[in-house]
Structure 1
């Protein structure tokens, strides 16, 4: 059930109306849990069993960690981590490991190599795995009391607005809200709907329109001219931003309608003046997860500059691998790690002109690295970049007509201006809210690109 589908809109409205008809928090949580199960099962129903298994393990581990003393506390934490990482490794990385083993042995699956496993990656596995681990780690650290109500804990992991593509939440934020009954709040509903409409706009009007050019460029890397490839790379930077942040806007807005506040996952990343700042603004929930649970335990910046650089590089390699079982993602993460270690953030005040220049340079760097993220293999990525810098001559076609190209550029400009000027998504005037809602719905209907356009981050 994709967010950008009529099925989801009907599902959301039914669940929300039913939610507000219930008069106890327990009944509301049960409704949201059942709805979240239905939402998850709309993708591949059998994988609810995997999610259910990890939920049971982590629920019991959290209780036992709080009860136990001494080394046994750590063993319960290790059990939780092994269960989560083990499932993630099997479904996401098993075939990647097999492919590379066959390559090292110069074998293929058709000869005497290892046969690939017939497995499908469960949707959102990387997201809810990390969210589940944050719970047991926080209980172990003494920062979170164990959740005794199984349904409430299950809802913490499965809450449908952020289940399959984040934000990766923390128990300290979500669990207290699941224990607090909240009355109907019109401001929250307006803000939530406004946020959802903005997310739909970013996804179906901008991201899916830019995807037509991006797909054409990556399908024609060898024959397209260098500036067509450059346009495709820039468009992909905005496609992936609008696609991923659009999903988060819809999810955050849907939760807000039900008085549940999710963490922000983006903060104008393409205005960052260096790669370090970029990562403080892009996929914030993942960056903070790796900071708190990997970087700091490795020693952070407490053991000297060289060790800090090593720790940063390890984190970015793992971040790349988290995104996908492909060397393109490992290279993407590793190159980001190199840039962060070479060009650390500084808080020096700069002139407006210098700020703009640094932001443009950072955007260009991020855009070039996104090519690795989008390419199907490292060869295609390096060819794509080489064809840009060698000023390859070739076809000037973009896969769309001039009207669509101009419209795409205008939409990107609208995005940048709106997100730069907007402070929040609350429209205080009811009249303005109604006009905005009707106008945005009409724009999405008239200018939207509809079809089976899955969100990019669903595959992670």
Structure 2
């Protein structure tokens, strides 16, 4: 089941009404309802993979209890290894098994040794990269004595499977989300309205912008040899807005749905295309993942390599981004994408006296981007777009060929021979940029809590809903479902 489907718009009101009108006085029953609803939501895609999320839940629930009750550090580490190896093993088999086998065979073939092999027809379970990281961080935090495990299995299972963020994040930490399942929740009209408003904004970004960009981007990347360098560059830029509108749109809907049920998720996007350098970008883009990698990968590596000073920091950061690339997809193009982001950090690391983290959840309005930062924003956006070529391409070979096509086109001076995209793209991407620029101090683009005019608010809602109905493209799955 996906947010932009008819099924979801039937499912959500049913769960909402049962949650607030039937079970509003029974916290435990509300949690049970959310757990059942979450399993229905996930099983709607393929019920067979419910066993994986249930197994992951059971393993980390019991491992967390064992880690906490043992004072012996060695025993705690043994239990922690069970959680880490299980989650990474689950992720490794379903997501990377064929990739590693193919890479192994290709390596032998390159030296003249031919190997016969069979690849498995493995279906990638939706959301596995997200919920494995979420449950693994639970065990890691307990082992560091940052968190006490819960003995309420229902609450923990609901935390793992909570449907708004199950399949594409945000990757919620137990320290933030799990305690919310133990607090009595009261319906708050203003919070619910704010949640519905954020859902509307997310749907606008997904249905009107991302889904309208998709056909143009797909055509450019599939037939890159037929187009000029100008068209290819424009195709990459349009993809940048497609993936942003798609992924941040999903996040807005997820956060909005959570608000309808009285839950608060951490912010996952903070207007990333207004970033002034690559470090700033990763403090604004997919914050839940970058902060997860910062805490559980970069920081331990930085401590390990601290004797090498800034070179050690760069090594730790570069390895972290390689892992980030691999997390996004089982392909060398994703690893190169991550490596490029790591390389782009070099000026940031060596130009600062102290570099301590990749990401931050803090929203610093004092350091908001201004028009004076426009050249830096353009340069950062261009760097990010260059990496998107590797991210969007089918494989590394296609990414290299597309880069060659752009360079050859620039040499032959065919940059101005451009295939113009659909008028909806031309109109709505600038509108998105303008709205988010004006709202860049707010939590999301349609945050109208300080707008006192009820009439004005409803006019804006009416316009957005009309635009979604009139200009909405054919519904497509969210891009990050494949990760």
TM class, shorter-chain normalised? Answer: over 0.9
Which residue is 1:157 aligned to? Answer: 160
Q: Deviations over 1:331-372 (max 9, x none)?
A: 00001101112333759x999565110110010010011010
Write the distance in 2 (CA, Å) between the matches of 1:297 and 1:102. Answer: 33
Q: 1:74 to 1:337 in 2, by over 3 A?
A: same
Deviation at 1:115, TM superposition (A): 0.6
Q: Bigger CA drift: 281-290 or 391-400? A: 391-400
Q: Deviations over 1:181-200 (max 9, x none)?
A: 12110111110000000000
Q: Secondary structure at the match of 1:449?
A: coil
Which residue is 1:291 aligned to? Answer: 294
Write the distance in 1 (CA, Å) between the matches of 2:182 and 2:91. Answer: 30
Deviation at 1:385, TM superposition (A): 2.0
Which residue is 1:53 aligned to? Answer: 55
Does residue 412 in structure 1 map to residue 445 in structure 2?
A: no
Aligned residues: 452
Q: 1:125 to 1:351 in 2, by over 3 A?
A: closer
Write the distance in 2 (CA, Å) between the matches of 1:438 and 1:61. Answer: 50
Is this contact kept in 2: 1:61–1:76, CA < 8 A?
yes
Which residue is 1:369 aligned to? Answer: 387
Q: Secondary structure at the match of 1:106?
A: helix
Q: Secondary structure at the match of 2:125?
A: coil
Which residue is 1:276 aligned to? Answer: 279
Deviation at 1:440, TM superposition (A): 2.1
Q: Deviations over 1:380-437 (max 9, x none)?
A: 212222222332549957485xxx23x3122111111212222142436555444443
Which residue is 1:455 aligned to? Answer: 478
Q: TM-score, normalised by structure 2?
A: 0.89
Deviation at 1:8, TM superposition (A): 0.9
Q: Bigger CA drift: 48-57 or 296-305? A: 296-305
Deviation at 1:112, TM superposition (A): 4.7
Any stretches of 5+ residues in structure 2 without a counterpart?
Answer: 354-366
Is this contact kept in 2: 1:190–1:433, CA < 8 A?
no
Write the distance in 1 (CA, Å) between the matches of 2:105 and 2:175. Answer: 44
Any stretches of 5+ residues in structure 1 without a counterpart?
Answer: none
Which residue is 1:28 aligned to? Answer: 30
Which residue is 2:14 aligned to? Answer: 14
| Alignment map for 1:417-432 (pairs within 5 Å) | 417-422=434-439, 423-424=442-443, 425-427=447-449, 429=452, 430-432=454-456
Q: Secondary structure at the match of 2:121?
A: coil
Deviation at 1:114, TM superposition (A): 1.9
| Alignment map for 1:318-329 (pairs within 5 Å) | 318-329=323-334
Moved over 6 A (4+): none
Q: 1:395 to 1:98 in 2, by over 3 A?
A: farther
Q: Bigger CA drift: 58-67 or 293-302? A: 293-302
Is this contact kept in 1: 2:108–2:115, CA < 8 A?
no
Which residue is 1:128 aligned to? Answer: 131
Is this contact kept in 2: 1:223–1:394, CA < 8 A?
no
Does residue 106 in structure 1 map to residue 109 in structure 2?
A: yes
Write the distance in 1 (CA, Å) between the matches of 2:248 and 2:78. Answer: 37
* Aligned counterpart in structure 1 of residue 249 of structure 2, from 246, 250, 255: 246
Write the distance in 2 (CA, Å) between the matches of 1:20 and 1:40. Answer: 22
Does residue 442 in structure 1 map to residue 466 in structure 2?
A: yes
Which residue is 1:263 aligned to? Answer: 266
Q: 1:145 to 1:217 in 2, by over 3 A?
A: same
Is this contact kept in 2: 1:228–1:396, CA < 8 A?
yes
Which residue is 1:3 aligned to? Answer: 3
Is this contact kept in 2: 1:266–1:284, CA < 8 A?
yes
Deviation at 1:133, TM superposition (A): 0.6
